[in-house]
Every structure is written in C-alpha cells, then in structure tokens.
Amino acid sequence: MALLFISIVVLVFGYVLYGKFVEKVFGIKEERETPAVEMADGVDFIEMPWYKLYLIQFLNIAGLGPIYGAVAGALWGPQAFIWIVLGSIFAGGVHDYFSGMLSIRNGGSSIAEVVGKYLGGGAKQFMRGFSVVLLVLVGTVFMTGPSMLLGNLNFLGIGSTQVWLGIVLAYYFLATILPVDKIIGKIYPVFGAVLIIMALGIAAMLLVGGYQLPPLTAENIHPGDLSVWPLLFITIACGAISGFHATQSPLMARCCGKESEGRRVFYGSMISEGIIALVWAAAAMSFFYGTDGLSGALDAGGPGAVVYDVSTSLMGVVGGLLAMLGVIACPITSGDTAFRSARLAVADFLKSDQKVLKKRLIVALPLFVIGFSLSLIDFDIIWRYFAWSNQTLATVVLWASAAYLVQNQKFHWIATVPATFMTAVIVTYILQAPEGFQLATSISYPIGIIAAILTFGWFMLKGQKHKVKEVLEG
C-alpha cells in the first residue's frame, strides 16, 4: 500500500507547488470585484464562504466517475495511479482552475460562452449544443446509477429502481430551480465532508488489513488485454481530467467573493477528487487480490456490486452503509447540478433572466423531459458515449485556456501541453472504439498522434497571427 500513500502525498504537493504556479501564471487580482458581488441576484449569484464553495465544487465534480471510473481503470493495475496523479496535477487541475477563473473574469458565464470568447464564434456555437447535451447525459447517468444502487440496497424499504428514479428526478428538479443557497449551499458541504471521511476510512482499513497492490510494471496486466493507450485515459476521466468539471465551475464562479479563492475551490477540488480515485482504484485491485479477481467481480455484478462488497467488508455493516450512502450522494449531487448547469447554459444562450421562477421553469422542464427519456436507454450505452464526449469537452476547454494565455502573453504551455496530449487521446479513441470507427490500432495510433501535432501547429500559427495583429493595431 506504500504506492497509494506516496501517490496521495505527491497529489498534495502538486496542489501546494504546481497549483500555486498555475495561479501565478493566471494572475489573480484581489481588488477585482467578482460576479458574486457585482451581479448578486439571490438565485445563482450569491457570495458564499470559500470552504463551502470547495466542498460544493468537490461534490459537484465527484460523481460516479472517480469511483466507477477508477474501479474500471484498476484493471490496468498500478499504472492507473500514474495517470491519476499526473493527470490531476498537470491536466485536470489546470483545466478546472481555468474553467472557473475564466468564468469569474467573464461575469460568471457558462463554459460555452467562455470558450467562444477565446476560440471564436464557431467554437461557441458548437460548445453551446455540445455542453448542454453532455450535461443532460451526465444528469441521466447520475440519475440512473444511484437509483439502481438504492433499489439494490432496498433503502427505506423501497426496492424498486423505478420508484427511486422518480424520487431522484423530483429532487433534481427542485435543486435545479431553487436558489443555489437553499439546498446546494446547505447540504452539499456536509455530504462533501462525509465523502472525504469515508474514502480516508477505506484507505485506513486497506492499510490495517494488510492488503497488497499488484506490482507496478510496464507490462499490460489488463485481464481483457485492452491497451493502455488510449483506453486508460478515457476510462479514468473524473479522477484525472474531466470536461464535466468545466460545466460545474461556473456555478461556483458565480459565488466566489475573491479571485484568491479560486485555487482552493477549483484546483483543490480536482486534487481531492484525484485522492478519491486513488483510494477506490487501490481498493478495487487489492480487495479482489489482483486484476483477474477484480475482472471476475465486475463481470458478476458490475462496479456497483464491487463498491458494495468493498465497503461492507472493510468497514462493517454501519461503516459500509455510510460508505455506500456517500457513494450514492456523490453522483446524485453531481446529477442535480448537471441539470442546473444545463439550465444556466441555455439561459445564457437565450439571454433569459433567471431571477424569475417562471423563466427558470420554461428552461428547465424540457431538459428534464429529455433526461427522463434517456434514462430508459441501456445505462452502459449512455456511459460509453458520455466517456468520450466528456474528454472531448475537456480538450476544448484546455485549448481555450491556452488561447487566453497566448492572447494575454502568459506562459501558455501549462495548458497547451495537456491540450495536445488530450487531443491525441480523443482522436485515437474515437477511431478505434466500438462506438466509433472500429479501426485497427495500426491506423488509429498514428492518425491520433498526427492530429494532435497538426492541432498544436495550427494553434501556434493562430497565436503568432494574434501577436502580429496586436503589434500592428498597437
């Protein structure tokens, strides 16, 4: 278990050192008035303490991804740890920080509007549709998953997944239309703290129980012989980098009282999520005595059953129930904010004032009708398309962040390098994935790398043209 705790320590140091560097590159301005103060409306723009914002943001982004994704990613063994650690520090943390801070700098705008400002009108139109579709997919996934878990647990004597689906949907609707401080601001910090405590509890029991991780090796130990590249980088998204986070950051950007809170709220939440992913990956691969045992458990009952077995076995009945509730609360509290973010994104596009309840209902109701319809589709199909679209969104946001840095003559490499890497990942994946073009790796690998290089070259060329234009106009 030494590797797990070393990885956690590296993540913490990443927050302290690299997070501070990213903040310095961005250039916070303490005297600048934030949207929470300047545009306060009592509904979406409400100033709250930074520690509440951190816990809310953490719970918003920590859905099924860092748990289910980490469990699935654990099939590659400790190699997953490398991606979680490096991804969280150098890709996910940068992505989350800039998506939040650029929203603050642009009046709390939704991520589509932010991307459009720095990448142009075409990118804005694409992102408007793409981000809303992704958010509804996320809301549907995080509606269906918890409902199945609650039904399997027969929680409160209700064993029907469909009944729980109705209850969760009703809650989502209230959380979407009510002011952000009425439900989200009150209960999210509590559940966020519970999730952290439960993960640390499981990590402690792994240590006490003497569980052992498989050895770290360059060899591919996935039982299904699935390649590390690019599948690992798509499978573990929310524990390393996730585009969904960029849709959530504007929610808290509208509530930050100072720009200096951004590193703790946005970058800090990503690092915390990375720790959650590390713990669940370690638990999955050690509790079942290696990747072969984990593969059998996943085949038998899926990731939900794996989480339940690990929780109850390591922490007893009470501890296991609390851990499971944390796992259930986690996706529920991402699903409701997914629909809330979708409402705000559509409202930004329509320029609809959301202070009036009637206008919030007009935007929200169609989104929930679509979400409920999608919930009737097979969960695995929705999740596969969510995984790729999620990483595509993350890549676009990284390129927008890099464009902002270039336009402001700042050190753009902190965003350009992970953006180029993720471009290679998503292009390669969609070319060879079952839901994509199903091409051989001999074709998908080189095309993915070439696409990333060409995108990087195009970006650098556009950046140089922007600098020349500034000089001529100056």
Q: Where are the alpha helices (DSSP H) in 64-160?
A: 70-73, 79-87, 93-105, 111-119, 121-153
Any domain includes 350: yes
CATH number of the domain that residue 9 is part of: 1.20.1740.10
With both helix axes pointing from N to C terminus, report the angle between 413-432 and 441-473 in degrees, rounded to the nearest 10.
Answer: 150
Q: Is the pTM of this model over 0.75?
A: yes
What is the domain count for the chain?
1
- Compute the mean pLDDT over every residue in the chain, rounded to the nearest whole number: 88
Residue 422 CB coordination number (10 Å): 26
Question: Rounded CA gap, 395 and 398, in Å?
Answer: 5
Q: What is the mean pLDDT of residues 234-259?
A: 92
Domain region containing 89: 2-18+39-395
| pLDDT at residue 471, rounded to an integer | 44
Residue 197 CB coordination number (10 Å): 13
pLDDT digits (tens, 9 = 90+) for 178-216: 888 888 888 888 878 877 887 888 899 999 999 999 999
Contacts of 457 (CB under 8 A, 6+ apart): none
Query: 168 vs 75, which has greater pLDDT?
Result: 75
DSSP structural state of residue 75: G
* Tokens linked to 287: 């509790």
In contact, 112 and 43? CB cutoff 8 Å: no
CA distances 441 to 229, 267, 319, 430, Å, are 10, 34, 44, 11
The residue with tokens 């689906």 is 165
Closest C-alpha among 66, 98, 83 to residue 232 = 83
Contacts of 210 (CB under 8 A, 6+ apart): none
Any domain includes 426: no
pLDDT digits (tens, 9 = 90+) for 74-107: 999 999 999 999 999 999 999 999 999 999 999 9
In contact, 79 and 7? CB cutoff 8 Å: no
DSSP structural state of residue 69: I
Any domain includes 438: no
* Tokens linked to 409: 């003559």
> Of all residues in the chain, what percent are helix, strand and coil, respectively (each to 5)?
80, 0, 20
Angle made by CA atoms 409, 414, 416, in degrees to the nearest 5: 80
In contact, 190 and 329? CB cutoff 8 Å: no
CA distances 14 to 57, 66, 73, 85, 196, Å, are 19, 18, 22, 9, 18
pLDDT band at 162 (very low <50, low <70, confident <90, very high): confident
Any domain includes 125: yes
Report CA 16 to chain centroid distance, whole Å. 21
Q: What is the mean pLDDT of residues 294-305?
A: 87
| pLDDT at residue 88, rounded to an integer | 98
Question: Rounded CA gap, 223 and 75, in Å?
Answer: 7
Any domain includes 144: yes
Size of the chain, expressed as the number of residues it contains: 474
| pLDDT at residue 328, rounded to an integer | 74
| pLDDT at residue 379, rounded to an integer | 56
| pLDDT at residue 472, rounded to an integer | 47
Any domain includes 105: yes
With both helix axes pointing from N to C terminus, report the angle between 121-153 and 161-177 in degrees, rounded to the nearest 10.
Answer: 140
Q: What is the dihedral of CA 328, 397, 89, 61, to 10 degrees?
A: -10
CA distances 61 to 73, 87, 142, Å, are 18, 15, 11
Question: Rounded CA gap, 272 and 88, in Å?
Answer: 9
Any domain includes 402: no
Any domain includes 224: yes
Question: Rounded CA gap, 61 and 337, in Å?
Answer: 9
